[in-house]
Amino acid sequence: MSKLIALIAGDGIGPEVVLQATRLLEWYRDKHGYDLGLWRVDLGADRFLRDGTTYPQDIAERIEGEASAVLLGAIGDPRVPSLDYARDILFGLRFGLDLYANVRPVRALSDRLVPLKGRVAKDVNFVVFRENTEGVYVNIGGQFKRGTVDEVAINEDINTRKGVERIIVAAFEYAKAHGHEVVHMADKSNAMRHAHELWQRVFVEVAARYPGIIGKHVYVDALCLYLVQDPTPFKVIVTNNLFGDIVTDLGAALQGGLGMAGSANVHSAVPGRVAMFEPVHGSAPALAGRDVANPFAAFLTVGMLLEHLGYAGQEARIERTVAEAIDARQCTRDVGGELGTAAAADAFLARMPTA
Ligand code: NAD
Ligand code: IPM
Ligand code: MN
């Protein structure tokens, strides 16, 4: 049965990298007979500025009812400073589809890209499980006496038993499936005694259900220190929405930059429910329209998408090809090459093994 992929190119460099990622999907469809349907969805700043549309009900329903996956470029445009439309789209997908696990691999694919002194690619190889439906991102809160000297601004931090447990379980299930012996949980329970006491308690409870896997707690500030000093002990990290966002940009730096980091937003590891895939990077407005954006984060994201849809081995195959392209310097300038976005994608596609 055909698998429908909704393509939301979005803003800034989003359309440029999604164009190349679409070529990769078409390559799989045309050269390998993958039964993929491609549905281009016009959402983002241009659409919003044109007719006020952010994330309409009919598109949400078609995505939920008909699509197998969503591939999103990036949303965010300086012409719309409030970014309300961007949250509507991004959180409309993440929350609306209950994509509670934001899975962000931090895997360096070439020694050359690792910025840490004395470290090589194999030293940087972990996956962050970022809670994706709660925390401060739900935007429960408000402002009072705005613009006065007495003004108050509140963003509540929502942590539910169900939400905390399911992301921790997802991390342990991943560790179990991949033979990892340690899962790290990062919080700030020393400062946030209510919410993160819940994280601590649930983490210990869940860890007890996985004999053979050790649950180790780490404060998120110290985690940032350790990841730079020595990332080798980290294989699986689970954390909340905000900390996961921050830690994965740090992680992207360990991989060679945001042009190298892909991600999946999934309801669970089991296929069958629509999931959303996006590079970790944003719309990089300063790079937009200049044919300089690195398309590899989007390619690695396509790898995660295909793997999730059941095309086994494609994530690793795309990773290997990206690694080879990096080593051959057939890549964009941010990762030490001299090619533009389109030329880097051409070289990548020419390199993809056909068997
Ligand atoms: P950004 O990720 O767009 O850029 C951060 C840095 O990384 C910049 O120096 C940029 O040039 C570089 N970079 C990012 N992607 C790159 C690529 N593919 N190739 C080469 N270099 C790349 O983050 P920002 O500047 O903080 O945010 C810009 C806008 O994007 C904001 O509106 C933000 O809210 C939005 N954003 C959206 C998403 C998303 O839609 N998933 C993710 C992150 C940021
Ligand atoms: C990301 C982005 C988003 C987030 C922004 C654009 C709201 O930084 O996907 O990493 O914080 O989740
Ligand atoms: Mn981010």
Q: Relative to the CA of 278, which ligand 2 atom is closest?
A: 9
Euclidean distance between the first and the last CA atom of the chain, given in angstroms as a whole number? 22
Decide: 315 and 306 in contact? Cβ < 8 Å: yes
Examine the residue annotation and report whether 77 is marked as an active-site residue of this protein: no
- Burial label for 139, CB within 10 Å (0-12, 13-18, 19+), is exposed
pLDDT averaged per 10 residues, the chain (length 355): 95 98 98 97 98 98 97 98 97 98 98 98 98 98 98 98 98 98 98 97 98 98 98 98 98 98 90 91 98 99 97 97 98 98 98 84
Centre of ligand 1 to C-alpha 283, Å, is 5
Examine the residue annotation and report whether 216 is marked as an active-site residue of this protein: no
Examine the residue annotation and report whether 245 is marked as an active-site residue of this protein: yes
Centre of ligand 2 to C-alpha 245, Å, is 6
Q: Which domains does the chain have, with CATH numbers?
A: 1-111+268-355 (3.40.718.10), 115-255 (3.40.718.10)
Cα–Cα distance, 59 to 7 (Å, whole number)? 12
pLDDT for 270 equals 67
* Dihedral, CA of residue 208, residue 209, residue 213 and residue 218, to nearest 10: -50
pLDDT for 268 equals 79
CB atoms within 10 A of CB 241: 23
DSSP string, 125-178: EEEEEEE-SSBGGG--EEEESTTSTT-EEEE--B--HHHHHHHHHHHHHHHHHH
Q: How many helices (H) and strands (E) does the chain have?
A: 11, 12
The pTM for the full model equals 0.98
With a CB cutoff of 8 Å and minimum separation 6, the contacts of 22 are 7, 38, 71
- Which of 188, 210, 311, 346 is an active site residue? 188
In short, whether 280's Cβ falls inside 6 Å of ligand 2 is yes
